[in-house]
Amino acid sequence: AFFRTIGMLEDSYLKGLRDLQAGRLGAISELQRCQSIEMEKKRQQAEQAEGEVGECVVLDVQSLVAQHVSEIDAIELHWRTEIEQLKARQRASYCDLVVDFFEQEIDQIGLEASEAAEPGP
């Protein structure tokens, strides 16, 4: 029963981790899609304003790139933190399971020893 529980626990841990990693990839992909659209709009604005305010457009693009990098860094940090918290919860859960199993085994050994020490009728 213990090893079956360990196997099921491992499966659930892997699924939880895979789900978070898939969420991370999905969030990054969506952010990159939005950033690509935003950058394309900025490029079109630059084409329309070519010659009029060229330096201002360059600064806008640089600012937008810096914003995009910052957004990617923030989302990476968020998901890295989520994954690390999940791993910590999983480790704690596993430790609790092992300690509980060990305590049950010790109790069982103590019970068997006390039954063996009792004088028979």
> How far apart are the two ends of the chain, measured CA to CA in Å?
35
* Residue that has been written with the tokens 């992909």 in this structure: 29
Q: pLDDT, tens digit, for every residue of 16-75?
A: 999 999 999 999 999 999 999 999 998 888 777 765 666 777 788 889 999 999 999 999
The confidence score (pLDDT) of residue 121 equals 62
Q: Look up residue 23 and give its two tokens.
A: 């969420």
The confidence score (pLDDT) of residue 92 equals 96
Query: pTM for the full model?
Result: 0.74
Alpha-helix runs per DSSP H in the chain: 2-48, 54-117
